[in-house]
Amino acid sequence: MSVLQRRRLNRFDSIRALVNLPVRNMIHLLEAKGVRIFSLVIDAREVDAFSMWKQTTPFIFLKNNKSSEHSRYDAAHELGHLVLHRHRGLRGRGAEQEADAFASAFLMPKGSVIAYASTYPTLATLMELKRIWTASVAALNCRLHAVGMLSDWQYRTLCIQIAQHGYRTKQPNRPHVRHRRFYRRFLQRYTKKELIDHMWRAPCASHSPS
């Protein structure tokens, strides 16, 4: 992550009061800062999650059939696009890698990861630690590797174990999560392109989600 990207991340981090505290409710946090969150129906297969700016209003669209861990990560990933790529227009693999790095650092701050994680994490350890950040096992494995707490060999070994147990698509020890508010706009009529076109044509009224 570049110095400029880290500055932007740190600027958004200030809303958490203490940068090393895990984000308890990603949806609440985004809504409190003016991000409009919309729910995508399960059968919108051509869309996973995406974000956009309309004038000065940020929008994030999330699938509603994912685990809480994956939904949180998707929301943070899309926040990364909103923060990092609004004026740069970067697309493709480079943009996705930057948004992934942003999401990982935002949801699992380095200070708390180092404080809680053991020196030689195992798969069983990750399954317990994931509760602290409400992160997927795979995402936590990547973060531990990124902050230097896992060697390349340890990281690859855990990747193999995670895949063997099917933890890339399902999560062990899934938490019970309540969403205080979530825009219940079902968008089954639109493809991603049609949805973006529709959003740009529609007026952007100022209102709070109900």
pLDDT single digits (tens) 65-123: 778 888 899 999 999 999 888 776 667 788 889 999 999 999 999 888 888 887 788 99
Please report which helix (H) or strand (E) contains residue 95, including its range: helix 93-107
**What is the percentage of the chain residues whose pLDDT exceeds 70?**
67
How many other CB atoms sit within 10 Å of the CB of residue 147?
A: 17
Interaxial angle between packed helices 93-107 and 3-13, expressed in degrees from 0 to 180 and rounded to the nearest 10: 40
CA distances from 145 to 138, 140, 141, 142, 158 (A): 11, 9, 6, 5, 10
Distance CA 141, CA 50 (A): 24
Higher pLDDT, 143 or 48: 143
What domain range is 140 assigned to? 110-175
**Residue 17 and residue 86 in one domain:** yes
Pair 166, 86 in one domain: no
Angle in degrees, CA 9, 12, 17, rounded to 5: 120
pLDDT, position 102: 93
- Do 37 and 117 belong together in one domain? no
Beta bridge partners of residue 202, listed in sequence order: none
